[in-house]
Structure 1
């Protein structure tokens, strides 16, 4: 198989399957595992060079609709009759399903089923440690202005629960919620988790968060519980979320 991934989470899913060697190219943002950095690049996820993909004659493209605007990639693939599948999971269960779907698409049905089962078992192993009645509230910030945060139907609500906590916006329907600084302030989270999509940790400035109107009174700010976390471990719907979960567990255990 000659496969091209045009979304980082798809690349990481293929890695979990142990099939990175089938990749002949990836999008500009795919950076894990390390060896994919040496592969040819076909552009950023919202501006994929489909002509370049066509010239490579792939057997399969792993496409995505995880970000608004990716629809044009699908249209371009259709126009050039390039074979593809679309992966767009919002939950841990859907990530497991995508492992099976990808396994079938690359001719490895039994492998896909096996790895999906492994992922589910890994996820289930965390549930045993969430018996505590106290559940600290977490505010996950995907983007600061306009403010976007995960809602109920999102893997970060599940990750929060598996860590013995709760997403302060888990009451809101949808995978992604647009809100305001004032609304966040009214919910008074115990922890603020900054995971700005596409932004590296060193470029984020938590000191600016403290200057937002009324935020000095937040429990998270008063207790200095503003956490800058790697977006690659929390914002990509791939099996690497379990690594993020382990990190979140350790972070909360220190409090």
Structure 2
């Protein structure tokens, strides 16, 4: 089996099936002890299909979570490879994908157990008055905010927050900083795609024109949560939820 995306790699390993992997994409970096010695055949949109074929996988796990992945999926199928495609848009979709992968690997009971474990670790915070408004941004300029069709929208709700763009019919939403400011977020979470958490800079948020009186800026509630914990629809969403809940609790 070959895994094309980080989240699928992490799901396979969490299911106790790391030994079935014959290769992964270049961005799959967790768990390190499981992926360190595996062949890596290119990044998401630059996957070397011939190199994948040479590994003779009986199944390729891929996804549509990155814009442009449709072409990669088409190329994998054209190469005669058996493909399982994940396209989660909600937390329930993530759970369904875990079950589907577990079934494909012949360990459906492990899939059910992993879903139950994750769900229990991410309880919904009870409604209690006005919820803090939360901006989770995938990119700082333009601000790319989480919208309705994202598992992170569900995590914000579970963790006790309110996503002001949670009813926008999209996975994410590019916004001018002035428009994002109008929501007056109580909490800003930097989860910038393709950037290491150590390189997230709260100053980038603080320096935006007119943001000095935005509650998140005024009260120092700008948080860094690695994309590995929010942007990968797999087992480590639990850690993303925990960090989100802690950040939202500070604004409650």
Contact 2:221–2:247 at 8 Å: present in 1 too? no
Alignment deviations for residues 139-177 of structure 1 (CA, whole Å, 9 cap, x no partner): 011012233111012111111111111112113122211
Contact 2:6–2:27 at 8 Å: present in 1 too? yes
How far apart in 1 are the matches of 2:134 and 2:8?
27
Structure 1 match to 2:165: 169
Structure 2 match to 1:11: 9
How far apart in 1 are the matches of 2:221 and 2:161?
14
How far apart in 2 are the matches of 1:13 and 1:153?
21
Q: Which runs of 4+ in 1 moved over 4 A?
A: none
How far apart in 2 are the matches of 1:76 and 1:230?
31
Structure 2 match to 1:96: 95
Structure 1 match to 2:150: 154
How far apart in 1 are the matches of 2:211 and 2:170?
26
How far apart in 1 are the matches of 2:150 and 2:216?
22
Q: CA RMSD in A?
A: 1.6
Shift of residue 121, structure 1, vs aligned partner: 4.0
Q: Which sits farther off after the overlay, 113-122 or 206-215?
A: 113-122
For structure 1, the 5+ residue unaligned runs are none
Contact 1:93–1:120 at 8 Å: present in 2 too? no
TM-score for both structures, normalised by structure 1:
0.92
How far apart in 1 are the matches of 2:98 and 2:245?
25
Structure 2 match to 1:196: 192
Alignment counterpart, residue 31 of structure 1, candidates 13, 29, 33:
29
Give yes or no for the alignment of 1:221 onto 2:217.
yes
For structure 2, the 5+ residue unaligned runs are none
How far apart in 2 are the matches of 1:167 and 1:38?
40
Alignment deviations for residues 100-157 of structure 1 (CA, whole Å, 9 cap, x no partner): 211222223343344334444444xx12x42322311110110122331110121111
Structure 1 match to 2:64: 65
Structure 1 residue matching 2:42: 3-state secondary structure? coil
How far apart in 2 are the matches of 1:65 and 1:14?
17
Residue pairs, 1:172-251, within 5 angstroms:
172-251=168-247
Contact 1:30–1:37 at 8 Å: present in 2 too? no
TM-score for both structures, normalised by structure 2:
0.93
